[in-house]
Structure 1
Amino acid sequence: MTEPGSFTHILVPTDGSDYSIAAGKLAIGIARTYHARLCFLYVIDQVVKTELTRFGGKSEAAVRRELEETGRRAINYLARLAADWGVESTVFLREGTPHEEILKTAKQHGVDLIVIGQVGLRGPRRYLIGSVAERVIEFAECPVLIAKRQGTG
Structure 2
Amino acid sequence: MDETGAISYDDVLVPTDGSKAAKRATEQAVELVTESGGTVHALYVMDMGDADFVATPSDIKETRKRLEKKGQGFVDAVKDRADESGVDCVTVVKSGIPEDEIVEYVRDQDIELVVMGRRGRSDPDKPLIGSTTKRVLGVLDVPVRVV
**Unaligned runs of at least 5 residues, structure 2:** none
8 Å CA contact retained: 1:12, 1:41: yes
Identity %: 27
TM-score, normalised with respect to structure 1: 0.87
Pairing of 1:66-85 with structure 2 (within 5 A): 66-85=66-85
Distance in 1 of aligned mates of 2:79 and 2:88: 8
Shift of 1:54: 4.0
Distance in 2 of aligned mates of 1:40 and 1:66: 19
Shift of 1:66: 1.1
8 Å CA contact retained: 1:137, 1:144: yes
Q: 1:14 aligns with which of 3, 13, 16?
A: 16
Aligned residues: 142
TM-score, normalised with respect to structure 2: 0.90
Name the structure 2 match of 1:102: 102
Name the structure 2 match of 1:150: none
Detail structure 1 runs of 4+ shifted over 3 Å in the superposition.
none
CA-atom RMSD in angstroms? 1.6
Give a deviation string over 1:7-42, Cα, whole Å, max 9, x none.
Answer: 110000001111111111110001101111110000
Name the structure 2 match of 1:33: 35
State the one-letter code of the partner of 2:105: T
8 Å CA contact retained: 1:12, 1:116: yes
Distance in 1 of aligned mates of 2:124 and 2:31: 28
**Unaligned runs of at least 5 residues, structure 1:** 148-153
8 Å CA contact retained: 1:53, 1:63: no
Distance in 1 of aligned mates of 2:9 and 2:26: 15
